[in-house]
Structure 1
C-alpha cells in the first residue's frame, strides 16, 4: 500500500525553502528563579506554611519553561519554612491515565524524586468533594486531599486550545482538571467545551474552598518560550489575577506573520508542547468550534512525536497527513484515553499516513487545491513553541521581505532527505 501511495505523490514538486527570523517582543526575566524566590517570601505564601506541615506541590505535564527549576525552588522554600514537601502529578488523564505513567511524565520533565529531593506521590484515586448546581461532580486527588496540610499549584497561564473565556488555561484549570485527575478531568469535560468557560472556574472555586490550597505559582511566557513573568499568588487572589495574566499571555503568543498559506509542516507534536500536541492558537486548527484565531492553512503535516509525550499522539488527528514513524511511536490506547476523557475524539484519530517525511509533505502539496503545484506556499516549523526561526517556501519570500518583523537569513535551498525519505534532525 505504501508503494502505491508513494507512486501517487512521486512527481509532486516541492518548493525551494528559505530560512527567516520572525521578531517578537523578547521581554524576559533575567533570573526568574530569583524572582520566584523573592515572590515566595512575600505575604500570603510561605508564611502560610508552618513547621511540620505536609505540603503537596501540584505540577503538570506541560513543557513550561524551566518548570523543573521553578518546582525545585518551591520545594526548597517549603523545606526552609519547616514543611515536608512532596510532588503530586497534576495532569488529568495524561501519562496514560496511570499513576506510574504520570510519575514518568514528571521525570521526563526533570522532576524526578532524585532531582527534586522530595517524594513524588502519584495515584489516580480521587475523593468526591461536592457537586456543581448543574450536577457535575467535583473530584480531587486523594493523596493531596487526605495527606496534605497545604497544597501549592504551579502552571503556565495561556489561551486555551478549545474554548474562550475570562479564565482559560492556567492555575484554575490546573486545580479543576489537573488536580482532579482522570475522573475530575472527565467530569469537567462531560458537558463539552461549550460550557468549559463556566465549569473550570466553578469547579476550581469548590476545590479552593474545600482543599487547603494556599497559593499558586503562575508563569507567563514570551513568544520565544521564555519566562517574562512569574508570580506567587495567594489562593484567594488567584482567579482575579489569572484573568489579568491571561490577557498578557494572549498578547505575547507566538504566531505566523502570514495570514494564509497552503501547507504547514511541523517536525514535532507532543503533550509537552501543547495539550493538543500542537497549539491550535498558532496553527488555526482547533478541535472544537468554541475557539478561533490563527492563520488560514489548507493542509497540515506532522512528522514526528516528542519523546517527552510518552507516546501520547493527541493532535495528530487535526493534521491531514503524518508518517509511519510517528504512528509507530504512538501509544494508541493512551492517546485514545485522552479523547475519551476530553470527549473530543477527532484529535486522537490517525491522520492519513505516508511512508516517510517526503511522501507526507508531497501529499499535502498534492491536495492543497492549487492549480500549479510550483506556486505552493509552504511553511515548516519545529513545533508550535518555536516560531522565531522558521522555514518558508520561496513563493512566500516577497511577502516576507515586506514585513517589518521578518528577517530573511538564508538563500533559497532544496529539500534534503535521507535514503529512507526522512528529513535530517
Structure 2
C-alpha cells in the first residue's frame, strides 16, 4: 500500500517544541493468587463429573487472550483431568480469531504457551460447528452453533477470564458465558451472535443463547479467572453449568474494581506502543481508552482522550490489527505489520467494522507526533497532556508529559525526568534520575 514518504509531507506541518516528560510507576494496591495453576486444579472440584465415564473425553476450551499464567493453568487443568481418569483434549474457543482457520487458531494458542507439548493434550482446532437450535432475541431469529470438536466430547469445561467487554457493558460481559456461546460457536456462531447482538443487545443475546448451550451440550461448567491491576490472577473459581449468570456479575464487579486504568482521565494525546488480540479483543482495551466505536453503543464516559497514536502490533497478534481503527494516527511500521486477511476475518465476523479502519498513516514517530500536536489546536508544550504507554494491559509504567504530573494519584511514583528525541524519525526517551514523588 502506497502511503506518503517523509519528504512528501514534511513541509505540510512545521515542527513544534516537545514537552518535558517523566517516567512514572503506577502501582495501586492489589491481591494475587500465589499459585493460580494449583488453584485451578482445586477448583475443578466445584464441577460434577459424575456423568462422565472413565476414560471419557473432556474438552477443555481455551481462548485467544493473553491471560496471566494461562499456559500453566491450561496445563494444570489437563493434568488434573488426566489424573482423574479422563482423556482431555484442548479446543480453541475463540470464534473467528486466527484468521478463522485451524492452523491460525493453533498459532494463536502457541503464542500463549498452549501447545500439545506444553500441556500434554492434543488440540482439536477444527472450525466445524453444528447448529443446536434457533432462538428468538427481541425481533431477531438467531441460530446457536457449537464446536463439533467440543460437542463430540463426553464433557466440556471452559477456562476464561471474567472482565469488562470491549463493546458493551452489563451484568455479564467477557467470561464463561461468552466463551460458551460465542467462542465455542466458532466463526459461524460468532458471526450469528454479533449480528444479533448489535441489533438486540449483547447481554440479552447471551442470556437467550446460554440455556440452549447448557441443555444441548455436555457443558459441565468453567474455571473463571479474575485479574488485578497488575494483570496477575486475583481470583480462581470453579463455576458449574447453570450458575454462570448468577456468579459472573459478582466476579465482573470485582474485575471492574481491579482492572487496569490510566492514572488520569483528561488526556490530549495517548501514545500506545503496541496493540494485539492477546491484549484485548479490540486490540486496545476500550475501557482503558474510552472508545467502543460500536453501533448502538455509547462510549464510556471516562477517560476523555482527544487523540490516540498507535505505533504498532504485538508479535503474538500475528498481523491481526483489529483495533487499529480505534486510533487516530498510526505509522508506516504498523501498516507493514498488518495481515489484512486476519484483520478482516475478525472485523467481518464481529460486525465491528470501525475497529479495522485505517487511521492517518504517518511515515514515522516524529511526523506522527507533529501531526497530533497540530491537530489538537492551540498546542502548548507546557500544557499539553500526553501519556505514553506500552499497551493497554501493561499500565504499571509509562511516560507522562510535565502537565500531567501534578494530577497523578498517590499510587503513582515519578522515577525520573526525561526528554523525547528522535533517531531517524523513531522516538527515543532519555532520562535523568528524579526524586520519587
The residue aligned with 2:393 is 385
> 1:158–1:220: 8 Å Cα contact kept in structure 2?
yes
Alpha-carbon distance in structure 1 between the residues aligned to 2:204 and 2:197: 11
Q: Does the aligned pair in 2 maintain the 1:152–1:213 contact within 8 Å?
A: yes
Cα pair 2:308 2:328 within 8 Å, conserved: yes
SS of equivalent residue, structure 1 residue 191: helix
One of 99, 106, 110 as aligned partner of 1:107: 110
The whole-number CA distance in structure 2 between the counterparts of 1:282 and 1:48 is 43
Report the alpha carbon displacement of residue 371 of structure 1 after superposing the two structures with TM. Answer: 4.3
Aligned twin of 1:362: 370
Residue 45 of structure 1, CA deviation: 4.4
Residue by residue over 1:263-284, the C-alpha shift from the partner in whole angstroms, topping out at 9 and shown as x without a partner, is: 0000010000000000010011
CA offset at residue 30 of structure 1?
A: 1.4
**Structure 1, unaligned runs of 5 or more:** none
Matched, 1:187 2:169: no
Shift of 1:165: 1.4
Task: State whether residues 49 and 78 of structure 1, in contact with CA within 8 Å, keep that contact through their aligned partners in structure 2.
Answer: no
Is the contact made by 1:20 and 1:410 (CA closer than 8 Å) also made in structure 2?
yes
1:191-270 equivalent positions in 2, closer than 5 A:
191-193=196-198, 195-270=201-276
Deviations 1:288-344 (A, max 9, x none): 224524311111000010011111101111100001111111111211121111111
Q: How much has 1:17 moved relative to structure 2?
A: 1.1
2:422 to 395, 417, 422: 417
Residue in 1 that maps onto 2:38? 34
Q: Deviations over 1:145-194 (max 9, x none)?
A: 1x201011011000111111111110000011100011101001113435
Q: Do 1:173 and 1:201's aligned partners in 2 also have CA atoms closer than 8 Å?
A: no
Out of 176, 193, 197, the residue aligned to residue 181 of structure 2 is 176
- Aligned pair partner of 1:156 in 158, 161, 185: 161
Q: 1:370 to 1:284 in 2, by over 3 A?
A: farther
SS at match of 2:416: coil
1:374 to 1:48, Cα distance in 2 relative to 1, 3 A: farther
Q: Secondary structure at the match of 1:58?
A: strand
Q: Which of 364, 388, 396 is the matching residue for 2:404?
A: 396
Deviates more, 1:156-165 or 1:47-56: 47-56
Question: How far, CA to CA, are the matches of 2:129 and 2:388 in structure 1?
Answer: 42
The residue aligned with 2:96 is 93
Query: In 1, are the aligned partners of 2:46 and 2:239 still within 8 Å (CA)?
Result: no
| Equivalences, count | 420
Q: How much has 1:13 moved relative to structure 2?
A: 2.6
SS in 2 for 1:180: helix
CA distance in 1, matches of 2:14, 2:159: 49
Q: Please give the alpha-carbon distance, in whole angstroms, between the structure 2 residues aligned to 1:404 and 1:5.
A: 42
Tell me the equivalent position of 2:314: 306
